[in-house]
Amino acid sequence: MNYRLLKQEIIEYSREIGIDKIGFASAAPFTELKDRLLRQQELGYQSGFEEKDINKRVDPSLIFDEPRSIIAIALAYPSKMKETVKGRKGERRGIFCRASWGEDYHTILRDRLGKLEAFIAAKVPDARFRSMVDTGELSDRAVAERAGIGWSGKNSSIITPEFGSYVYLGEMITNLPFEPDHPIENRCGTCTKCLDACPTGALVQGGQLNSKRCIAFLTQTKDFMPVEFREKLGNRLYGCDTCQTVCPENKGMNFHLHEEMEPEPETVKPLLEPLLQMGNKEFKQRFGYMSGSWRGKKPIQRNAIIALAHFKEEEALPSLIDVLHNDVRPVLRGTAAWAIAKIGGEKARQALVLAISEEKDMEVKEEIERGISSMK
Ligand code: B12
Ligand code: SF4
Ligand code: SF4
């Protein structure tokens, strides 16, 4: 088999099926990554969404029999909406991060990797593959970096010279010995814009993230959000783009190459208040196709409450008071108490005083008490 020729054919085919960048890497263990992951674990900086077994994360031979190379792919997503909607007083809106715009990227990238597998299998009958996007054992970024897709930025994202960091990553381990590509030069230089702009100081130093402080992570938790971070959330409902939007390498990067990735303005910037009363069925219908819905509706609703407080949206008090009195989920009642106190005013105070006499949950009671005393 002429693998050099096959590699060329794969590159050409990848363009035909809407893969924006492709690179080839060796399947050798990611030794440097292992130390990094262990250190992150020690420091408690991991999010908990990663594969737990660090050995599997860094050694492809533990998850694939005799791996010879890895094919890495990247697909560029838009950074600006073609049409948008604007929130205003009485009609405030939240925002889903760009990586959640359009159809779930896992589906889109798996489709491309599946097509690539079929193309290679037709040429090499004994080829074996294992494709993954996000949820696999490997670090998609470490693979992409090794395959020359982009460099590892100080904001910890993979940045491509062609599309900036607004790219999704995926890869395929194979038993075929493709010649590897080379990592590309890191262009961050002396820039520190992402570190300076991060609202929570989650980027401890260039390339090192404390996930527990990262808003992208915090928007996905299901429990109470620590008060310190509620103040920083703004109107984010899912994810955070700040360390990417400030990056000079993303300037002018806005690619609309895939119809499936086009955002629906009403969905990615939804009105906040109606979210509070939304049932499961409606949530699934409206948001179920997006990657940002994977944690269910509770975190999104909690974040919507925090966003209403951020806007000091007095018009939303009746809806928030309704949540405080009637929602069955303590996290939502307690967060509503906090938001009501933030918005303030006599009506807010009265609602909190009434709620404290009814409330049975200790954590919610504390939230209400803290809210009342913050208003004095
Ligand atoms: C867990 C996870 C998260 C966590 C933790 C993120 C993080 N930075 O570690 C949270 C929930 C916070 C998160 C947020 C986001 N995520 Co995420 N996430 C993942 C996931 C599942 C694992 C990442 C991981 O293992 N991190 C651990 C760190 C330590 O390793 P790593 O970043 O993978 O690898 C790099 C470092 O180890 C570094 N490194 C290694 N050794 C050393 C040594 C030194 C000294 C230094 C400086 C660095 C360094 O180099 C590696 C290559 O860049 C991956 C998918 C996957 N399976 O890989 C997606 C993934 C990284 N996420 C992605 C995206 C899009 C995001 C968000 C932009 C979404 C959003 N808008 O909210 C944010 C970005 C936040 C940020 N600043 O990173 C994309 C990244 C695309 C890209 N261009 O880089 C991925 C690859 C998913 C995908 N398949 O497309 N994510
Ligand atoms: S995603 Fe947001 S919170 Fe997380 S590191 Fe980037 S700017 Fe900071
Ligand atoms: S903002 Fe500057 S330092 Fe941060 S990733 Fe972009 S170029 Fe690198």
User: pLDDT digit string (tens) for 176-201?
Assistant: 999 999 999 999 999 999 999 999 99
Q: Give the binding-site residues of ligand 3, using a 6 Å CB cut-off.
A: 153-155, 188, 191-194, 246-249
Q: What is the structure's pLDDT at 289?
A: 98
Residue by residue, DSSP assigns 311-363 as TT-GGGHHHHHHHHHH-S-HHHHHHHHHHHHHH-SHHHHHHHHHHHHH---HH
Q: How far is CA 376 from the centre of its chain?
A: 38
pLDDT at 376: 75
84-91, long-range: CB < 8 A, 24+ apart: 84/265, 84/269, 85/265, 85/266, 85/269, 87/235, 87/269, 87/271, 87/272, 89/313, 89/315, 90/313, 90/315, 91/271
User: Ligand 3 centre and the CA of 154: distance in Å?
Assistant: 5
* Amino acid 366: pLDDT: 98
Q: What angle do CA 193, 194, 200 make, to 5 degrees?
A: 125
pLDDT in tens, 57-89: 999 999 999 999 999 999 999 999 999 999 999
Angle made by CA atoms 179, 181, 184, in degrees to the nearest 5: 170
CA 214 to ligand 2 center in whole angstroms = 5
- Residue 98, helix vs strand vs coil: helix
**pLDDT score at 41:** 97
Instruction: Give residue 262's pLDDT.
Output: 98
> pLDDT exceeding 90 applies to what percent of the chain?
99
Residue-wise pLDDT tens digits, 10-54: 999 999 999 999 999 999 999 999 999 999 999 999 999 999 999
From the candidates 59, 126, 134, 322, which is the catalytic residue? Answer: 134
Alpha carbon separation from 47 to 126, 216, 219 (Å, rounded) = 38, 10, 12
Q: If you average pLDDT over residues 206-217, what whole number do you get?
A: 98
pLDDT value for 348: 98
| Index of the ligand 2 atom closest to the CA of residue 244 | 6
Per the CB < 8 A criterion, the answer to whether 90 and 97 are in contact is no
| Residue-wise pLDDT tens digits, 258-304 | 999 999 999 999 999 999 999 999 999 999 999 999 999 999 999 99
Work out which ligand 2 atom sits closest to the CA atom of 209: 5
Atom from ligand 2 closest to the CA of residue 232? 3
Rounded mean pLDDT, 208-222: 98
pTM: 0.98
Write out residues with Cβ below 6 Å of ligand 2. 155, 198-200, 202-203, 209, 214-216, 240, 242-243
Backbone dihedral angles phi then psi of residue 152, each to the nearest 5 degrees: -90, 110
Cα–ligand 3 centroid distance for 355 (angstroms): 47
Query: Catalytic: 126?
Result: no
CB half-sphere exposure, 235, CA atoms < 13 A: 19
Q: Which bound ligand lies closest to the C-alpha atom of 197?
A: 2
